[in-house]
Structure 1
Amino acid sequence: WHPSLEILASASYDNTVKIYKEDQLDSDWNCVATLESHDSTVWSLSFDKTGERLATCSADNTVKIWKEYKPNNELGVSVTDQESVWKCICTLSGFHTRCIYDIAWC
């Protein structure tokens, strides 16, 4: 769960992370983003305390850090619709020789 908003993230065997938001009109959850960059199963994820970054870990032996960019952000990252976009800003590799099963912010 996002630390302060009604946002859910899921890790998957399909090598992706999905971001979901609740539709206030019908109380259903909609996938608003699919994060694709891992080459194998994503085992775990964790939002930082602000909810602006997400760490993911995978059977591909990497940790990835994702950042949320909102429309009209000051960095000029293109956001084409009303929803924010998540971009991989860092890949940590070469530190683990086996699958990484869990991740947490310190």
Structure 2
Amino acid sequence: MNGEEFVKLCYKEKETILNEYFNQDSTAVAGKIRNLMQAGISKNDLYELVNSIMTDSYYTLLLGLDGAAALGGKQVSYKIYDEKGNLINKYGEIEGYAFTYFMEKENQVLQK
């Protein structure tokens, strides 16, 4: 695995969780979303809000791991290794892929 694959898996996980929130009743978040929709807030508005929150959270976390942003007020770069001890990310690699997947891709989806 490399940095791009790691970021891509994070993006897929965000999409999976988002889908569960809006298409299943099995999570506490899904129940809260259902209640908000029953109170009159549109599904589309809620989807955009939750998607934005998740995108910002994942993006910040990924940049924090790469050393391009602070996590908890401390900015350092981290090395990520797979279970075999192989280095997944080179310094600065995750930042670029995170931008591609979480910012550029999100902007393309929103413009459609």
Q: Which TM-score band (shorter chain)?
A: under 0.3
Q: TM-score w.r.t. structure 2 length?
A: 0.24
The structure carrying a bigger helix percent of its residues is: 2
Tell me which of the two structures has the higher relative contact order, counting C-alpha pairs closer than 8 angstroms and 6 or more residues apart: 2
Q: TM-score w.r.t. structure 1 length?
A: 0.24
